[in-house]
């Protein structure tokens, strides 16, 4: 079975980097720079884990996580906050995220955190 990862970030360079890092691993990576259609995105890509930036245009990452966690069919999908926000740990607890990766990150932290959630 393919291991799908869905990454939301408004910075194209970051998305490209994530794809480059994950290319060596057994993942299928889908990247998006908008998060307002998060429920249909999940339906379309069926990800094992979602990485969500916080400062993302329109509704923002926090709101998107709230939508995921309030929907019966998507609330089980692990969501990892992926941000440069210094209060990432507090925000992660607040929105009930499943984990966080603080930017800048090391490749090992990045991979370990993702793998912890895809089993």
Partner 1 sequence: MKTQPEANNLERIEDLENRLAEAEQLIDAIKTGEVDAFAIRSENKTEIFTLHSGDYAYRVLVENFSEGAINITEEGLIVYSNKYFHELLDLSYEKVIGTSVFDFIHPQSIETFKPLFTKAFGGQSKGEINLVAATNIIPVYISLTSLYPQLPTIGIIVTDLTEKKKNEKILEDKNKELERTILKLSDMEARNASKDEFISIASHEMKTPLTTAKGYIELLLRSLSEENQTALYATKANQALERLHDSITELLDVSKIQNGQLNYNITGFDFNELLDETMENVQHTTKNHILHKTGNISQQINGDKGRLQQVLINLLSNAIKYSPNADKVLVKIEEQDSKVQVSVQDFGIGMSKQHLDKIFDRYYRVEEHAVHFQGLGIGLYISNNIIKRHEGKMWAESEPEQGSTFYFTLPV
21 is a contact residue toward partner 1 (CB under 8 A): yes
Q: Quote the CA–CA distance of 116 and 119 in Å, as a whole number.
A: 6
The DSSP secondary-structure symbol of 40 reads H
Binding mask 74-103 for partner 1 (x = CB under 8 A): ----------xxxx--x------------x
Q: Which two tokens stand for residue 75?
A: 């609330």
114 is a contact residue toward partner 1 (CB under 8 A): no
User: Strand, coil or helix: what is 26?
Assistant: coil
* C-beta of 111 vs 118, nearer to partner 1: 111
User: Strand, coil or helix: what is 99?
Assistant: strand
Residue ranges in contact with partner 1 by CB under 8 A: 11, 13-14, 17, 20-21, 55, 84-87, 90, 103-107
């Amino acid at each position: 079975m393919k291991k799908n990862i869905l990454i939301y970030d408004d910075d194209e360079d970051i998305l490209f980097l994530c794809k480059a890092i994950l290319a060596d691993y057994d993942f299928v990576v889908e990247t998006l720079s908008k998060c307002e259609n998060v429920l249909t995105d999940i339906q379309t890509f069926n990800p094992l884990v979602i990485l969500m930036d916080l400062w993302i245009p329109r509704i923002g990452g926090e709101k998107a996580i709230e939508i995921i966690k309030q929907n019966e069919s998507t609330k089980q999908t692990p969501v990892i906050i992926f941000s440069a926000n210094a209060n990432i740990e507090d925000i992660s607890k607040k929105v009930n995220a499943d984990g966080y990766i603080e930017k800048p990150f090391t490749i090992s932290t990045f991979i370990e955190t993702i793998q912890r959630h895809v089993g």
